[in-house]
Structure 1
Amino acid sequence: MSEHVSLEWDERGGVTVHMDGSPQSHVQPDDPTILVFEYVQHLALAIDALPPGPLGVTHVGGAGLTLPRWVEATRPGSPQIVLEPDEALTELVRREVPLPRRHRIRVRPVDGLTGVRALKDDSADVVVTDAYAGGRVPAELVGTAYAREVARVLKPTGLALWNLADEPGMRWVARVVATMSAALPHVAVIATHEVLKGRRFGNSVLLASASPLPVETLRREVARAHLPTGMREDTALTKLVAGAKPFEEKGMQSPPPPETGKWRAR
């Protein structure tokens, strides 16, 4: 087992996967529809806005396999690919928190860019990028090279999602949006109000597609979200991205997370 990975069980039978000392994902084995982390709720919210039925989903980043389990529970029979280079992590999770029977989740031990490059054109309904190293999003997963590969792999009506973490002001997120919108022009950002208003370091979910997003459905889902949540799209997102310079081929890793107990902006 990798030294940087640990599992912490709670009194409700759930388990949190810690990586590099930070909680990475939470799994509720007896009910995978229970999503604890806010950003995972937002990823699920975005997927829920798509038409019903099975979806071909590629996940860049595995950890506890929380979202693949949720997709399998809510859209049974969905063929899913998980790109997770840490084989020890995958082995630990699959041993201690087994996947459901008859699932169609396939884990490949490769990094995100390498794994996405190996996928066929127009082969995915959804590509979810939720990968961190040392608490930061790797640079190669937000550059123009990666954006082109994701756009190639997605079906014409497919949806790309990124879990992004940034400081108050969201200037790094703005650069990611500017980069991805060049390849997938229809974009939106979902996050809690505290994050969108720049009150604290936190996660936001970027949605990007070659086709118009289901904005009205997304607005309804956002309004019903468990935590106070908002969405930036159209002119509000244009304002956020104003002046942001797109990344080049490789991109830039996300800002380091603050020390524990210092999550709020001054």
Structure 2
Amino acid sequence: MDEPVPVTRPIDYGTAKLMPDVDRARAWLLTVDGAPQSYVDLDAPAHLEFEYVRRLAHVVDVHTADADAPLDVVHLGGGALTLPRYVSATRPGSRQHAVEADRRLLALVLAELPLPDGSGIETYAMDARDWIEQAPADSADIIVADVFGGMDASEGTDGPESADGPRSSRSARVPARFTSVEYARAAARVLRPGGVHAANLADGTPFAFVRSQLATFATVFTELALIAEPAVLRGRRFGNVVLLASDAPLDIAALTRRVSADPFPARVEHGSALTRFTGAAAPVTDRDAQGSPEPPDGSFGIG
């Protein structure tokens, strides 16, 4: 049997490379311009390498009392479709929509890392904000916003969204159009009552961006929570923060148990502690929204 070999292709926004994992027979790491983006094990889609992807998976796992019940999930930002594959494997019968702006990246992933038959995953090569604004109302149980792209700091313009893992500093910024009150309202319209919006963000002390996101989503949703490593929350380093928003109480106890048992444990902040953390931060609109801060070099690695 031939050994798998790396695959390198130009994509719309850089160069993608798929590298086989020497320790797992059909596992692959996707990088874009040398930065890790996604990790997929085709034989074991429930195996998750990146820390923050495991935290998003925990959100899926605790969403209903029946842990096997199928869900309708929207993924904004596709990458190698790691989380959609996880949901398909752990929640059979789920209906999922994965939106990726980089058409050639999506084509590469579907060709080299094909989805299993009957996965229930539909993919779309288009802008994620446009997709969510066109989606039917009350059609999703969970929206996962993992939308990152390069930005022109001098003009404040957004580049492409992409991927489901750590990024280089050149492409590791949440575009402004996914950070506003208008975006939050669009997402809330698509969610069913009790649905959850889970956003992967990146920030560091003094957390001006995350605080503004908490204030922004609080104008639309009644329940909020943050999941992050203690070192990130204490301002010791830049890192991923998962923001949860819903119109119904979140299962904080179940989430806390799961994230604290991870190889790299995380904390769940909510309630009065989160209100204090938000402080006097103000919500932002499309008119004044800005993307997340550019991370320092070497901020992200493989979890």
Question: What is the CA distance between 1:167 and its match in structure 2?
Answer: 2.0
Counterpart residue number, 2:42: 29
How many positions carry a matched residue from both structures? 262
Counterpart residue number, 1:120: 136
Question: Would you say 1:103 and 2:138 are equivalent positions?
Answer: no
Whole-angstrom distance in 1 between the partners of 2:252 and 2:234 = 21
Whole-angstrom distance in 2 between the partners of 1:233 and 1:8 = 39
> What are the equivalent positions in structure 2 for 1:1-266 lying under 5 Å apart?
1-2=10-11, 3-13=14-24, 14-51=27-64, 52=66, 53-133=69-149, 134-249=171-286, 251-260=289-298
Q: Structure 1 residues 181 and 4 mapped into 2: Cα distance closer, same or farther (>3 Å)? A: farther
Any conservation in 1 of the 2:252–2:268 contact (CA below 8 Å)? no
Question: What is the CA distance between 1:231 and its match in structure 2?
Answer: 0.8
Whole-angstrom distance in 1 between the partners of 2:135 and 2:183 = 13
| One-letter amino acid matched to 1:69 | R
Question: What is the CA distance between 1:177 and its match in structure 2?
Answer: 1.2
Instruction: Encode CA deviations 1:137-182: one digit per residue, 9 max, x unaligned.
Output: 1110111111000000000110100000112332211111110111
Any conservation in 2 of the 1:22–1:135 contact (CA below 8 Å)? no
Whole-angstrom distance in 2 between the partners of 1:169 and 1:231 = 19
Any conservation in 1 of the 2:73–2:94 contact (CA below 8 Å)? yes
Question: What is the CA distance between 1:89 and its match in structure 2?
Answer: 0.5
Whole-angstrom distance in 2 between the partners of 1:256 and 1:6 = 23
Secondary structure at the counterpart of residue 281 of structure 2? coil
Whole-angstrom distance in 1 between the partners of 2:15 and 2:21 = 20
Q: Give the TM-score normalised by the residue count of structure 1.
A: 0.94
Q: What percent of counterpart residues are identical?
A: 40
Of the structure 1 ranges 211-220 and 64-73, higher mean CA displacement relative to structure 2 is found in 211-220
Question: What is the CA distance between 1:6 and its match in structure 2?
Answer: 2.1
Q: Give the TM-score normalised by the residue count of structure 2.
A: 0.83
Cα RMSD of the aligned pairs, angstroms, is: 1.4
Question: What is the CA distance between 1:11 and its match in structure 2?
Answer: 0.9
Whole-angstrom distance in 2 between the partners of 1:236 and 1:130 = 25
Secondary structure at the counterpart of residue 19 of structure 2? strand
